[in-house]
Chain A
Amino acid sequence: MSAPTLVDFDEVVERFDPTLGLEVHVELNTNTKMFCGCPTEFGAEPNTQVCPVCLGLPGALPVVNRTAVESAIRIGLALNCSIAPWGRFARKNYFYPDMPKNFQTSQYDEPIAVDGWLDVELEDGSTVRVEIERAHMEEDTGKSLHVGGATGRIHGAEYSLLDYNRAGVPLIEIVTKTIPGTGARAPEVARAYVTALRDLLRALGVSDVRMEQGSLRCDVNLSLAPKGSGELGTRTETKNVNSLRSVERAVRHEMSRQAGVLLDGGAIVQETRHFEEQGGTTRAGRRKETSEDYRYFPEPDLTPIAPSAAWVEELRATLPELPWERRRRITGEWGLSPEELRDLVNAGALDLVEATVAAGAPAGEARSWWVAYLSQQANTRGVELAALPITPEQVARVIALVGSGELNNKLARQVVDGVLAGEGSPDDVVAARGLVVVSDEGALVAAVDEALAAQPDVVEKIRGGKVQAAGAIVGAVMKATGGKADAKRVRELILERA
């Protein structure tokens, strides 16, 4: 196959209208699997989290995990979906070694949640409403590792290793309706949607939503139609899109690639493509000689899921403050601009700042500590901000000590350093390191007088009106007091006594 002609992005959007569709698979963070009691922990030794049910042994039967159904309903409600009062699981039949039963138990034509929407905020503050078609429950497959062969795929491999730890982990698949009319912003909308969905799922506490671990996986559907035609072109489905950045890149690449094919007079093949992280490109998956027929039929080993209206309402009452509600509240309460809020979110500081404020600190100072000094410390250590060994309560305590004048900013940073170094609470560090502002006026006056006496030439300058020369004396006093003096008061005293 010849290399595709990629069309410049600006030209693509000049000549074509893109239509998006996004399918997101979310691994739920339930303690146990969808249909058995095996643990779901990530990264365990291969084939140690398995039992007769998730290995599909002859005779074993599934039992639905109630917590997974609850999570599915809560996700549906948060996405403004209707919750189906009755629905069955179905079997999706196909043979693949990492699927123990050679069918996947999934919801097919009776999904638990349908017809919702998610409002997605873009960089410029505008909002796009993404319509949700459905959210349904299913089980994950095991993992295959194909050894030998060029492609890392089953074909051509020397042998394959199978790990069934993931087999049967509960998944929710969330499918959007087609998203038309995004034009040049299609890549941004796709990324913003997945971001918003991730934040929502995190707020619901139903998933770890870690794209790098595969607990959130996105398939990108994209088609192009001639500009203004109102038509729907043939779509491709790109899989293996494993980061937010990749979502954006995959859309952008598919737009350029498809435009290239179309402008060369070719036709888009409806196919599954794989995103190549390295080059930001997509490649065609293996073509199937025949179209897959999954022979769906209702799963006879399970009884229907029939959530009562009362149960659904009970679950609705457990919905936490959702990200967009929270954003609205926080920008109002803290007087933040959308940009400032976004910085907080991007720094991963929003929860931390909020907890710090909840612990009594003023919003401005809480924000400044986390976004500035603590972010630097996190960068230096190469960890997430939330992983720093300091709690929002401890930060609030430091802020309180500064507010009461017991610490100045320099000392406060030393206290924080002490906490980060594992020396205990802020008060422990203050006590152990003796970090208290010298507020004893007599001692301060003595230190100032001593410094003035040592530098008569500077005193002359000050007396001569060169007030800025006082800085040298301030420095000397601070040095003499071990940095524990209140610099502002020292300056006042110097000017008084010079």
Chain B
Amino acid sequence: MDELTRLTAAELAERIRTREVSAVEVTRAHLDRIAAVDDTVHAFLHVAGESALESASLVDASLDAGTAPASPLAGVPLALKDVFTTTDMPTTAGSRILEGWRPPYDATVTSRLRAAGITILGKTNMDEFAMGSSTEYSAYGPTRNPWDTARVPGGSGGGSAASLAAFEAPLAIGTDTGGSIRQPAAFTGTVGVKPTYGGVSRYGLIACASSLDQAGPCARTVLDAALLHEVIGGYDPMDSTSIDAPVPSVVEAARSGATGDLTGVRVGVVREMGGEGYQPGVQASYEAALRRLEKLGAELVEVSCPHFQYGMAAYYLILPSEVSSNLARFDAMRYGLRVDSGAGAEEVMAATREAGFGPEVKRRIILGTYALSAGYYDAYYGQAQKVRTLIARDFAAAYAKADVLVSPTTPTTAFPIGEKVDDPLAMYLNDLATIPTNLAGTAGISVPTGLADGLPVGLQVMAPALGEAAMYRVAAAYEAARDAEDGGPLIHRVPEVTA
């Protein structure tokens, strides 16, 4: 493996900036790595080698000409979840129904990455339309977890997380609707951030559930995630739900956190998260993390969020309802797959949707259509919205007592491919600890704590809306202390990928 692929994004950016290495060399190293391991990992649905090298050479030319770097990450390669539109690459959202679709416009996140001089290596695999927790629901085959290629990398953003853990990319972008960034981060020993709802533009992000979807950074370190967060975050007039406020100073927070002192920081331990239903190894790793936070000077306070137990139920009413409407547009009339059944428009629509959507997507469309039906709306969608309000209140009360909240990111470590694919309820439980944050529109990060039975475990740090600075500070402090004691980052213990 080329040494360049082992470096963090911050280190790569520094070497590119000082011309110790060219952006093209960095990109080429990663493309070589992808060529070597991705047949096994299958993190990518599309690798854009040529355009990546071209974009890297533009960064080199600009730096050689003495121009200041376009951003602190100029020249660093990145893996983009295949749910963001890109004019120069196909965009499928992991679905057969969009196979080969070439969008005529770039997502705001895509444009911001390009403007920052970040090199997009390609598009990463995902559960179809971001529905799933294992990437097994991708229409293009599962992604494998570099820690154990018989296991899933989590989902829906399994491709993005696995590309980091397999050293195919130092940075990635994910989207998190119920945990799709944080759960794969936990499963792959990487860092994943779900920003405050509205913190990153959704324009050009193919919707799963509009009121829950949030794009965010994925990386191998907290600092790298923070650097990427500041590139993609901020107000976008094309997204009415984006927040018109400055991006929290997360890079500064990550740097100051890395000095290791959390004196005066109140860390809320959510009573309802952890314990029963959590794998013993996960629980042990979590408890050790709590002790470490305490040692760093943080004050641990127990908080109670009694309505979190209804989060899963509310989520699986709100999400399918929005999905059923958002995915109505895939009707063969304007783009994507078209199954010409020879009959009228309605028949073409039905045949196309039958052939183009996978089982999980269909399940959720049917659920949502039912939940929104006349006579059921109040009992299902209406009631779920009330639960959502109660969960937001639980968070508000907890944040009155604590600066950040913590929990295990997931109840278990990565599970074997095929184990839960036919058991939707077991699959849904993966997101037990991450869903409340999406329902409340607040922020969360997952950082690696260690291994349980040889597989990574994640610590979730949560913060109130636009409170990301505190979250990054705690995560960075924890990461620094953990890595110091462990003799290096957890990710360096990932076994080499073998076919």
**Which residues of chain A have a CB within 8 Å of any CB of chain B?**
52, 55-64, 91, 93, 95, 97, 100-103, 154-155, 160, 162, 293, 295-297, 300-303
CA distance A287 to B204 in the complex (A): 39
For A300, the chain B residues whose CB sits under 8 A away are 209-211, 241, 322
For B202, the chain A residues whose CB sits under 8 A away are 59, 61
CA distance A155 to B209 in the complex (A): 33
For A295, the chain B residues whose CB sits under 8 A away are 324-325, 369, 372-374, 377
> Which residues B357-389 have CB closer than 8 A to chain A?
369, 372-374, 377, 381
Residue of A nearest to B372 (CB): A295
Residues A64 and B210 in contact, CB atoms below 8 Å apart? no
B163 interfacial contact with A, CB 8 Å: no
Q: Give 10 closest A-B pairs by Cβ, nearest first.
A: A102-B328, A295-B372, A300-B210, A300-B211, A59-B204, A58-B206, A59-B206, A56-B329, A59-B85, A101-B329
CA distance A303 to B239 in the complex (A): 10
Given known pairs A95-B328, A103-B328, A301-B210, the reply for A57 and B103 (CB within 8 Å) is yes
Number of interface residues of B (CB under 8 A): 45
Residues A293 and B240 in contact, CB atoms below 8 Å apart? no
Residues B328 and A58 in contact, CB atoms below 8 Å apart? no
CA distance A24 to B329 in the complex (A): 28
B313 interfacial contact with A, CB 8 Å: no
15 contacts between A and B (CB under 8 A): A57-B335, A58-B93, A58-B98, A58-B335, A59-B204, A59-B205, A63-B237, A93-B372, A95-B331, A97-B345, A293-B373, A295-B324, A295-B325, A295-B373, A297-B372
Q: Nearest Cβ distance between residue B329 and chain A, in whole angstroms?
A: 5
Residues B239 and A61 in contact, CB atoms below 8 Å apart? yes
For B328, the chain A residues whose CB sits under 8 A away are 93, 95, 101-103
For B345, the chain A residues whose CB sits under 8 A away are 97, 154, 160
Given known pairs A100-B334, A293-B373, the reply for A62 and B325 (CB within 8 Å) is no
Q: Nearest Cβ distance between residue A32 and chain B, in whole angstroms?
A: 14
Instruction: Select A303's contact among B85, B209, B240, B372, beta carbons within 8 Å.
Output: B240
**Which residues of chain B have a CB within 8 Å of any CB of chain A?**
84-85, 91, 93, 98, 101, 103-105, 107, 202-207, 209-211, 237-241, 321-322, 324-325, 328-331, 333-335, 344-346, 349, 369, 372-374, 377, 381
For B237, the chain A residues whose CB sits under 8 A away are 63
Given known pairs A62-B240, A97-B331, the reply for A297 and B377 (CB within 8 Å) is yes
**Which secondary structure dominates where chain A touches chain B?**
loop
Q: Nearest Cβ distance between residue A294 and chain B, in whole angstroms?
A: 8
Residues B204 and A162 in contact, CB atoms below 8 Å apart? no
Residues B333 and A162 in contact, CB atoms below 8 Å apart? yes
CA distance A303 to B104 in the complex (A): 26
For A55, the chain B residues whose CB sits under 8 A away are 334
For B101, the chain A residues whose CB sits under 8 A away are 58
Q: Nearest Cβ distance between residue A76 and chain B, in whole angstroms?
A: 22
For B381, the chain A residues whose CB sits under 8 A away are 297
CA distance A300 to B438 in the complex (A): 14
Question: Known contacts A56-B329, A58-B329, A63-B237; can you find 4 more A-B pairs with CB under 8 A?
Answer: A59-B206, A60-B105, A93-B325, A154-B345
Instruction: Select B349's contact among A56, A59, A95, A160, beta carbons within 8 Å.
Output: A95
Q: Nearest Cβ distance between residue B18 and chain A, in whole angstroms?
A: 37
CA distance A101 to B207 in the complex (A): 12
For A95, the chain B residues whose CB sits under 8 A away are 328, 331, 346, 349
Residues B240 and A97 in contact, CB atoms below 8 Å apart? no
CA distance A91 to B210 in the complex (A): 13
Given known pairs A58-B206, A64-B240, the reply for A102 and B107 (CB within 8 Å) is no
For B85, the chain A residues whose CB sits under 8 A away are 57-59
